[in-house]
Structure 1
Amino acid sequence: MSQRTVLLCDLDAFFAAVEILDRPELAGKPVIVGHDPRSRGVVATCNYEARRYGVRSAMPMAEAVRRCPHAVIVPPRHQRYAEMSRRVMEIYARFTPLIEPVSVDEAYLDVTGRPGLRVAAAIKRAVLQETGLVVSVGVGPNKFLAKLACDLSKPDGLREIRADQARAVLAPLPVDRLPGIGPKTAARLRDLGIETAGELQRRPLQWFNAVFGSRGPLMYRLARGEDDRPLQPQSRAKSLSDEITFDRDRPAAALLPVLLACSEQVGRRLRQGGCLAHTVTIKVRFPSFVTITRSRTLPYSFDDDATIYRTARELYETHILNTDLPVDDPTGRRLIRLLGVQVSGLVDRSAPRQTTLFDPESRQRQRLHQVIDDVRRRFGERALVRGRRLHGRPRRPSHA
């Protein structure tokens, strides 16, 4: 079984960041999101300028204002935060259907089989470019190490903790950095002469069983950076997409290899998530920033690259190459700034489905995809490349 690649994405000072987005004049000032300090409310969140004065989430508002009297107090707007959260979650869903939301500003993503740091960097760019928000991302072989990597790198963080680094990274940290160890348990451990995770690592399993009872085996593993808790997606994504923004505008006639590359990425994510799709959509943005989409729904469900690419190519040739759309270049070439492929109408692969005489699903093709996906998972995305992608294939600035 291949090692998992898990991301923890955490929006920095989310509520305060949204308020500053909507009111740019607040940038650079300490901002506290909370109700009137004369009430008994607490700080919902604050930006890093306010944190320099010792203000923290869940602190009584009166105490926060005492520490930072010149802070701007902004009442929370939860509907607005939910709206921005949905936008960010939609961006995450372009990278993987395996998403476990933890809160309005935090989510785990499973991107097993892909280079975690590259995917994380692409997510950070996409969130910043499309929403103006900053997200810190931790990468690890499990949920605990991904969360720890994120926490250790904030704000605007990007860090990976590999399995072979886990014990050394954990060793100097206080025991309360481990999940499940709160202030009372930490105080109890200090009474036993244990203050760091490294000191815990030197204790045998029997000691953990005596101190933690039924949680002993779990705490023993966590102290060593081991965590086999699965992601628990609340619901499947409604769509999956892959798109590339070019470093310079490119002629439309030369982009079929890019369309194929996007189709393969989407197909692999479908199979990774155990999904089938019904609809293929292409997205094209021109140098003028005019963006168009064209879709086709098929009479059967699919998850294979060939069906996605064939449908995307037909849409592209019909609506982009062979139309009277205006050109953007004095030489008469039609130029493109962004190209993407999306699939939607997702269903679980195990669900009953209708087939037709033209259904592309076959055992032979299914076995082929399993082999290709496995090779790329083990040896990297470029280990196997279709011949049609070898010429004119750009580097991928937007997605890993």
Structure 2
Amino acid sequence: MTEKKIIHIDMDCFFAAIEMLDNPELRGKPMAVGGQAGTRGVLCTANYEARKFGVHSALSSNLALKRCPELIIVNPRSYRYREASQEIQKIFYEYTDTVEMLSLDEGFLDVTDYCHKHQVFATKVAAEIREKIFLKTSLTASAGIANNKFLAKVSSDWNKPNGQWVIPPEKAAEFSYQLELGKVPGIGEKTLEKCHTLGIFKLGDIREKGVLWAKDHFGKFGHSLYQKSWGISSDQVGRRSQRKSISCERTFSQDLKGMQEIEEYFPFLLNELEERIITYYEKIERKKAEDPLLYSPPIKKLFIKMKTKDFKNHTHEFISPIEEPWTLKSFEFSQSKIFEQLGHSLYTQIGRPAIRLLGIGVKLNYTQSDELEGLGQLRLL
């Protein structure tokens, strides 16, 4: 059986890099993209100069300026980022149709067939892709190369910025054994805290404990972690079940207290959700040529999610207008007020507690029978 050859491409501080490209005066200075200070703004990303001061994505603009008074904050330009992303994706499809975009600035490519057909190494393909991206857009990208998505994604961070890293199959188990848990995709702050409490600091510690111990303490995720401790992951590029929703969320190191703090993060989440919706819509449009039955589903509901410090999840929904349902293509984020109103309503309902996780999203309607579901619900509280 042919060994899989997976590449993960991750653009280097994508939004910030585009702003510095279009405005050379920003180069060499600490800068970030996001909402302005004084407007309860939150950062989308920051360049490497700013990161030296502890400035990063999801940080409030006010706090960012306290950490770095010389920080320049630029308003996001979504249309420009989509434009650059489309050029990058065209390059991906020169090598394979098996592409899975995670967002505008990163994605997986399965280049197994290309490498076999052209008798080239995946490392050479990754280098070619990065070079083409730079020649076309003047932007740099980093790459990870491995035999599965998990290792490819981890390794793309290993030689940033503007570099690449390969994990050969014979080195996968050894590499994973030494991998710190904080670098494993899917492990959040609370899970990491639980692991440290149990004396687990790297994947190798989970391997030593055994699969039964991992499942006892972490359920299904424990089994996945045990497999990853051996460098094993069965996820295939682009092979996902039909999506029922598109969402994004943020877990906070310090709980949010009060609606004002919660509202600060809405612009950041809305921007990320917009990226994900556009990426998914464009993916469907490309696939239509291969599958005439494929269609872009309408949006059934908007929803907001809050998790309190006692780990209880709370959600609230708003149904898309039946007479003119929103679509992935036409949904406008001027509708952001709906999310804010949902947030106010939900936060009041649950008693205004401290919030450790905030998320927003849309639920998709793939079946006609779903169109009338929930008509008895309130349109908006």
**TM-score, structure 1 normalization:** 0.57
Distance 1:233 1:77, change over 3 A: farther
Q: Could you say which residue in structure 1 is the equivalent of 2:24?
A: 24
> How many angstroms does 1:152 deviate by?
1.5
Distance 1:73 1:215, change over 3 A: closer
Residues of 1 paired with 2:198 and 2:52: CA distance?
Answer: 34
Q: Could you say which residue in structure 1 is the equivalent of 2:107?
A: 107
Q: Could you say which residue in structure 1 is the equivalent of 2:193?
A: 187
Distance 1:345 1:195, change over 3 A: closer
Residues of 2 paired with 1:211 and 1:68: CA distance?
Answer: 41
> Which of 229, 233, 240 lines up with 1:227 in the alignment?
233
> How many angstroms does 1:65 deviate by?
0.9
The unaligned stretches of length 5 or more in structure 2 are 116-120, 241-285, 294-381
Query: Match for 1:58: what amino acid?
Result: A
Q: How does 1:348-387 map to 2 (within 5 A)?
A: 348=290
SS at structure 2 position matched to 1:208: helix
Percent identical residues: 37
Query: Match for 2:86: what amino acid?
Result: R
Contact 2:156 2:165 survives alignment (8 Å): yes
Query: Match for 2:6: what amino acid?
Result: V
Say yes or no: does 1:134 pair with 2:116: no
Contact 1:34 1:75 survives alignment (8 Å): yes
SS at structure 2 position matched to 1:126: helix
Residues of 1 paired with 2:292 and 2:232: CA distance?
Answer: 31
Query: Match for 1:186: what amino acid?
Result: L
Q: Could you say which residue in structure 1 is the equivalent of 2:263?
A: none
The unaligned stretches of length 5 or more in structure 1 are 235-343, 352-400
Q: Could you say which residue in structure 1 is the equivalent of 2:87?
A: 87
Contact 2:203 2:226 survives alignment (8 Å): no
Contact 1:138 1:150 survives alignment (8 Å): yes
Q: Could you say which residue in structure 2 is the equivalent of 1:210?
A: 216
Contact 1:99 1:233 survives alignment (8 Å): no
Q: How does 1:311-390 map to 2 (within 5 A)?
A: 348=290
Contact 1:6 1:110 survives alignment (8 Å): yes
Query: Match for 1:222: what amino acid?
Result: K
Distance 1:121 1:346, change over 3 A: farther
Q: Could you say which residue in structure 2 is the equivalent of 1:175?
A: 181
Deviations along 1:225-269, whole A, 9 cap, x unmatched?
1001011179xxxxxxxxxxxxxxxxxxxxxxxxxxxxxxxxxxx
SS at structure 2 position matched to 1:151: coil
> How many angstroms does 1:167 deviate by?
2.7
Q: Could you say which residue in structure 2 is the equivalent of 1:397?
A: none
Residues of 1 paired with 2:11 and 2:194: CA distance?
Answer: 33
> How many angstroms does 1:111 deviate by?
0.3
Residues of 1 paired with 2:59 and 2:3: CA distance?
Answer: 40
Distance 1:95 1:203, change over 3 A: same
SS at structure 1 position matched to 2:128: helix
Residues of 1 paired with 2:291 and 2:35: CA distance?
Answer: 47
> How many angstroms does 1:220 deviate by?
1.2
Across the aligned residues of Structure 1 and Structure 2, the Cα RMSD in angstroms comes to 2.2
Contact 1:178 1:223 survives alignment (8 Å): no
> How many angstroms does 1:129 deviate by?
0.6
Deviations along 1:186-206, whole A, 9 cap, x unmatched?
111111111112212212111
Residues of 1 paired with 2:287 and 2:76: CA distance?
Answer: 35
Contact 2:149 2:235 survives alignment (8 Å): yes
Residues of 2 paired with 1:41 and 1:233: CA distance?
Answer: 36
Residues of 2 paired with 1:121 and 1:127: CA distance?
Answer: 10
Residues of 2 paired with 1:190 and 1:58: CA distance?
Answer: 24
SS at structure 1 position matched to 2:219: helix
> How many angstroms does 1:168 deviate by?
2.3
> How many angstroms does 1:345 deviate by?
12
- Could you tell which deviates more after superposition, 212-221 or 47-56? 212-221
Contact 2:142 2:160 survives alignment (8 Å): yes
Contact 1:5 1:116 survives alignment (8 Å): yes
Deviations along 1:32-56, whole A, 9 cap, x unmatched?
1111111222111111111111111
Distance 1:180 1:150, change over 3 A: same
Residues of 2 paired with 1:349 and 1:81: CA distance?
Answer: 28
Contact 2:158 2:164 survives alignment (8 Å): no
Contact 1:101 1:233 survives alignment (8 Å): no
**Number of positions where the alignment pairs a residue of Structure 1 with one of Structure 2:** 242
Residues of 1 paired with 2:30 and 2:4: CA distance?
Answer: 39
Q: Could you say which residue in structure 2 is the equivalent of 1:295?
A: none
Contact 2:32 2:47 survives alignment (8 Å): yes
> How many angstroms does 1:83 deviate by?
0.8
Query: Match for 2:31: what amino acid?
Result: V
Q: Could you say which residue in structure 1 is the equivalent of 2:160?
A: 154
Residues of 1 paired with 2:291 and 2:56: CA distance?
Answer: 45
Deviations along 1:360-380, whole A, 9 cap, x unmatched?
xxxxxxxxxxxxxxxxxxxxx
Residues of 1 paired with 2:58 and 2:93: CA distance?
Answer: 30
SS at structure 2 position matched to 1:3: coil
Deviations along 1:68-119, whole A, 9 cap, x unmatched?
1112211001111111111111111112111100001011000014111000
Q: Could you say which residue in structure 2 is the equivalent of 1:38?
A: 38
Contact 1:117 1:160 survives alignment (8 Å): yes
SS at structure 1 position matched to 2:83: helix
Residues of 2 paired with 1:26 and 1:345: CA distance?
Answer: 39
Distance 1:73 1:347, change over 3 A: closer
The structure that has the greater radius of gyration is 1
